[in-house]
Amino acid sequence: MKNFKTQSELKSYLNSLNREKVKVGLVPTMGALHQGHLSLIEASQKNCDLTIASIFVNPTQFNNPDDLLKYPKPIEKDMEMLNEIGCDVLFHPDVDEMYQKNEGWNYQVGFLNTVLEGAFRPGHYEGVTQIVYKLFDLVKPDRAYFGQKDYQQFLVISQMNQDFKMGIELKACPIVRENDGLAMSSRNIHLNSQERKSALTLYQSLKFVRDNYQELSLSELLEKAQAFYQKDRLLNLEYFKICDVNTLEELNEKTATAIALVACTVGQTRLIDNVILP
């Protein structure tokens, strides 16, 4: 696996390729890799000639400085995992390599910045689009791969890709779960044994909604789903919503294009999850 730390090194390497014949796949990550990330690498490997993974803990998308400090950064283990799976290229820049001092970014994501993650994490998606635009512009991939767990982020990046006419084919890959249903996340490492058990509530509530979507009304589904969180002092539910899968507008009536999304703090660790309905 080739490992590049600077934009100039990566750009020089990419310029040496015959881009008309080499289809490039990009998997942007913040590291602390798990099987969910590796499934994105594998998806790229099946459809692209060259797979590039980026690892960059992006400071501009953290609205909580403590969250940035606590975010796991096991780079040696990450590189070992990428080597084992046969990733072609790792781009692992420092912050100073990706950002100039006092750099501005004025792109607005509109409605998606006002709901769900946008409402609870102000400024988050401005930071996400800022770094993903830089990566897209640098690599100019044919395809880019993201996980469904960050579904709202995928819609935001899709809108940015369209607005800037970047022409990249974006793929949202299915959530990879532990055997008991917990969505794999880099943040799971912070859960102690009791919190880990409580965290299963996210998937259990989502699964309930999916299994009962045809039988119960929306209000009944939401009421019963939210009740999952009321008896556990370790859980602080931020939102549980049933939305249109294309726009994330909250539904007033059931449709065939719906998604249930949840965000909950378990102890001190904030987790998100979702399921497509029905």
Domain CATH number, residue 85: 3.40.50.620
Range of the domain at 165: 2-173
| Residue 115 lies inside a defined structural domain of this protein | yes
Domain CATH code at residue 216: 3.30.1300.10
In a domain, 181, yes or no: no
Same domain for 143 and 169, yes or no, is: yes
The answer to whether residues 135 and 218 belong to one domain is: no
Within-domain flag for 179: no
Q: Does residue 215 sit in the same domain as residue 143? A: no
- Same domain? For 91 and 119 the reply is yes
> 67 and 16, same structural domain?
yes
pLDDT of the residue at 237: 98
| Domain endpoint, select from 173, 208, 225 | 173
Domain annotation covers residue 180: no
Q: Name the domain boundary from 173, 202, 217.
A: 173
Q: In terms of DSSP bridges, do strands 269-277 and 258-266 run parallel, antiparallel, or are they unpaired? A: antiparallel
* Residues 151, 40 within the same domain: yes
Total structural domains within the chain: 2
pLDDT computed for residue 63 by the predictor: 86
169 and 190 belong to one structural domain = no
Give me the tens of pLDDT residue by residue for the chain, a chain 278 residues long: 999 999 999 999 999 999 899 999 999 999 999 999 999 999 999 999 999 999 999 999 998 888 999 899 999 999 999 999 999 999 999 999 999 988 889 898 899 999 999 999 999 999 999 999 999 999 999 999 999 999 999 999 999 999 999 999 999 999 999 999 999 999 999 999 999 999 999 999 999 999 999 999 999 999 999 999 998 999 999 999 999 999 999 999 999 999 999 999 999 999 999 999 99
pTM for this prediction: 0.96
Is residue 159 domain-shared with residue 21, that is, in the same domain?
Answer: yes
Does a structural domain hold residue 178?
no
Q: Is residue 20 part of a domain?
A: yes
Shared domain check, 212 and 97: no
Catalytic residues: 37
Q: Are residues 271 and 248 both part of a single domain?
A: yes
